Amino acid sequence: MTRLHAELTGLGLAPPADAETTVTLSSDSDQIDDGLEGVLYLDWDWSELSPWEFELDDGELVIDDDSFLPESVYDLEFEDDEAAIPGDELEETDDGYVYQLDDEIVDDAGELETIEIDPAGELNSFIPTGEEVDVGHAVFVAIDGDDVERISFGDGDSFVIESIEDEDGDELDRYQITGYEQTARDPARALDQAAWYSEQRQTTDDMEEEGGPDIDITFPNPLDSDGATWLGLGLIGIVALAVIGFVTDLIPGLGE
């Protein structure tokens, strides 16, 4: 299971914050049997907050602790106006991260429609139990005793997390997921990302040399053979684009 976690994370899917946390799903998909337990990996859309990740009451915006992104910018789209809030301007409280909107926005902007995010750095989110989730792509690693099965969700599929259990057997009410923004313009951060992916790949190689766990599972892996070459080129591209963006910002007339 450790190898599978490394592989799916290396493919860019958002893993659970704790790899030992398991969920029970319900879904209209024929692939999911009721009561099947496993670990969920998501191609998560970090560009917009889900309705359960925030509250807005009398002009006070509260971002949940588990989805607060300190290095990001929150773009609030109202019916008749908009507002942009840097993450570091939100105040940490016992209820979450709070920002008080201007009276002009509160009085004249109308209903809040969406909160879009310009993500950067470490990414965090969560899915509460009982919420129906539509995903572009997700992988559910179903575990039944010693048997492990990889089940993919695609566009148009949805599921509900019925229950969540941590490694100690305690029930949780939210499934925390993590990620990392891969399009950062900061050259140093881009290099850190490249090193992180290299480390993930090395972890997989080490496990393969040691024989790895006995898991009867097969799926395409772009990290092998020619795929490794393309991944390497992709990482070089990330760094190159980051450096170009950084230098461009320093040249008058070319930066933002």
In DSSP terms, 226 is beta-bridged to none
Question: Are residues 134 and 211 located together in one domain of the fold?
Answer: yes
DSSP letter string, 120-184: -SEEEEEEETT-EEE-S-EEEEEEETTEEEEEEE-TT-EEEEEEEE-TTS-EESEEEEEEE-S--
In a domain, 58, yes or no: yes
Token readout for 169 is 């057997």
Tell me, yes or no, if the pTM score tops 0.85: no
Are 65 and 176 in contact by the 8 Å Cβ rule? The answer is no
Over residues 232-246, mean pLDDT = 46
Last residue of a domain, one of 80, 113, 146: 113
Question: Are residues 10 and 83 located together in one domain of the fold?
Answer: no
pLDDT band at 247 (very low <50, low <70, confident <90, very high): very low
Question: Are residues 159 and 185 located together in one domain of the fold?
Answer: yes
Question: Are residues 106 and 135 located together in one domain of the fold?
Answer: no
In a domain, 12, yes or no: yes
In a domain, 118, yes or no: no
Question: Considering only CA atoms, which of 65, 74, 171, 177 is closest in space to residue 127?
Answer: 177
Question: Are residues 135 and 90 located together in one domain of the fold?
Answer: no
Question: Are residues 197 and 83 located together in one domain of the fold?
Answer: no
Identify residue 68 by its one-letter amino acid code.
F
**Pairing label, strands 158-165, 171-172:** antiparallel
Question: Are residues 19 and 60 located together in one domain of the fold?
Answer: no
Confidence at residue 173, expressed as pLDDT on a 0 to 100 scale:
94
pLDDT, tens digit, 9 for 90 and up, residues 4-14: 777 777 777 88
In a domain, 198, yes or no: yes
In a domain, 120, yes or no: no
Average pLDDT, the chain: 74
Question: Are residues 225 and 192 located together in one domain of the fold?
Answer: yes
Question: Are residues 137 and 198 located together in one domain of the fold?
Answer: yes
In a domain, 90, yes or no: yes
Question: Are residues 109 and 22 located together in one domain of the fold?
Answer: no
Question: Are residues 151 and 69 located together in one domain of the fold?
Answer: no
Question: Are residues 65 and 155 located together in one domain of the fold?
Answer: no
Domain region containing 10: 2-46+126-243
pLDDT, tens digit, 9 for 90 and up, residues 82-119: 889 998 899 999 999 999 998 888 888 888 999 998 77
pLDDT, tens digit, 9 for 90 and up, residues 151-200: 888 777 788 999 999 888 899 999 999 877 654 445 555 556 556 555 65
Number of domains in the chain: 2
In a domain, 251, yes or no: no
* pLDDT of residue 139 exceeding 80: yes
